Amino acid sequence: MPTSAERGRHVRARLLQAAAELVAEQGWNAVSTRMVAERAGVAPGLVHYHFASLPALLTEAAVQVMEGVVDGAAHGLSQARTAAQALELMLADLDRYPGDDPASRLVSEAMLASGRDEGLRTAMAGLLERFRARLGDRLAAQGVPDPRGTAAVLAAALDGMMLHRSLDPELTSTAVAPVLGRLLQDGTPGTAQEGHP
Amino acid sequence: MPTSAERGRHVRARLLQAAAELVAEQGWNAVSTRMVAERAGVAPGLVHYHFASLPALLTEAAVQVMEGVVDGAAHGLSQARTAAQALELMLADLDRYPGDDPASRLVSEAMLASGRDEGLRTAMAGLLERFRARLGDRLAAQGVPDPRGTAAVLAAALDGMMLHRSLDPELTSTAVAPVLGRLLQDGTPGTAQEGHP
DNA sequence: CCTGGGTTTGGGCAATCGCCCAAGGCGAAC
DNA sequence: GTTCGCCTTGGGCGATTGCCCAAACCCAGG
């Protein structure tokens, strides 16, 4: 028999999940408290009992989902034994998040909303930094030149391709794999200029 | 002395510009007809005289701005004489659109809104295709391998870095230049796998 | 049985929303 | 001077918004 406090925590979790779904479907600032309550199957007033405000609910919901995405990608990455394998695993993630699925949209919506919400911005910057660090460590272990800078560019490229994919479904992982493979090669002196701080 | 039709066109143009500014500042679906009218300095009712609906106004405003961005970048690109120069020009554009400026935000907002607006989606897909084609032609003329695929990845990487830059200001053009430079080198057989359709 | 604290309900508040429309302003054509 | 057509105004419509709150509810502890 669950105590009332436990039932309350369950309702809170359902509100968070409903909020994450709706942000992905309707857009960050098209989500209303009543929509969230309806999808969660509770009365409208409950939203402001469990959360201080609507932005606070959306921010907590987005951060929760994105932590799962980053940790999932980083965990898969830790099993790679070569640079090519790491790239292959990252592109598998690109297929898991095609750009028009709920998780991808949630991330994109949060990225834009972070420009107007300071708390969300710092939370997301922390997540990005964590992902870069793990990816950079993996690249360094494989002897990739400038692992830290390469990780930053690679992370950005993945995010960008996620966005572009919804405009061009042919931007598949097999299409971009040979191009990105060049990123992981040794730099040929003279062609690439120096200057990374 | 401007005729009334000419004054009408001028008001229409002001509404478009006000809409573009507000989408960048407040987000796609946080813009209201009354906000646009106020910034344009006209009565609220005028919005629905010049435009069929609010989404129609926002879509036309966004497409207009993005055409300018793409044409500007493509035009600058056409002056490059080497692959390294082309990369340099593209990174200069990255500095022009740091990710938290009005134009960058407008593009990002439109990219997300395109998932919920069919007309906007096709318009943006056309713009992306146009930019890729020009970039691909330029890369092909410099002997870059797989110019078409490289252009697609490069365009996505630029968009992604634009987004990441607002989370990490240190992601400057000088930081990523040496990394991206490797993309333009000849592929070393054996390291990059085949498979581009 | 009763009391107390956490949870839940549903309605109320003022504000804002997209869209509409009757009415007026105003230069061009006659 | 009168008529015509485009442009413009400001208010009104019903619906929806975030947030609030009095009251009911539920269950464990005394």
Here the tokens at position B45 are 């009712």
Here the tokens at position B60 are 């036309």
Distance from CA of A27 to the nearest CA of B (A): 8
Tokens 């007033």 — which residue?
A45
- Is residue B185 within 8 Å of B142, Cβ to Cβ? no
DSSP A46: G
The average confidence (pLDDT) of chain A is 87
Distance CA B15, CA B62 (A): 12
Question: What backbone phi and psi angles, to 5 degrees, belong to A194?
Answer: -85, 175
DSSP A44: G
Query: H or E stretch including B7?
Result: helix B4-26
Q: What is the pLDDT at residue A4?
A: 67
Q: What is the pLDDT at residue B194?
A: 38
Distance from CA of B45 to the nearest CA of A (A): 23
Nearest to A115 among B100, B121, B184 (CB): B100
Give whole-number Cα distances, B55 to A27, A170, B23, B118, in Å: 14, 28, 11, 11
- The string of pLDDT tens digits covering residues B112-132 is 999 999 889 999 999 999 999
Q: Report the chain A residue with the minimal C-alpha distance to residue B157.
A: A157
Contact partners, residue A5, CB within 8 Å, separation at least 6: none
Residues 25-54 of A with CB under 7 A from strand C: 42-46, 49-50
Answer whether any strand D atom is within 7 A of the Cβ of A4.
Answer: yes
Question: Among B155, B52, B188, which residue's Cα sits nearest to residue A183?
Answer: B188
The average confidence (pLDDT) of chain B is 87
pTM of the predicted structure, to 2 decimals: 0.87
Domain B54-184 - what CATH class?
A: mainly alpha
Per-residue pLDDT of chain A (197 residues; tens, 9 = 90+): 467 677 879 999 999 999 999 999 999 999 999 999 999 999 999 999 999 999 999 999 999 999 999 988 888 888 888 888 888 888 888 888 888 899 999 999 999 999 999 889 999 999 999 999 999 998 898 888 899 999 999 999 988 888 888 888 889 999 999 888 887 775 544 343 333 43
A149–B179 C-beta distance less than 8 A: yes
| A81 residue type, one letter | R
Q: Domain ranges for chain B, please list them.
A: 54-184
Q: What is the pLDDT at residue B62?
A: 97
Q: Does domain A53-184 have CATH number 1.10.760.10?
A: no
Distance CA A64, CA B107 (A): 26
Question: Among A188, A121, A153, A39, which residue's Cα sits nearest to residue B176?
Answer: A153
DSSP B188: P
Distance CA A2, CA A83 (A): 49
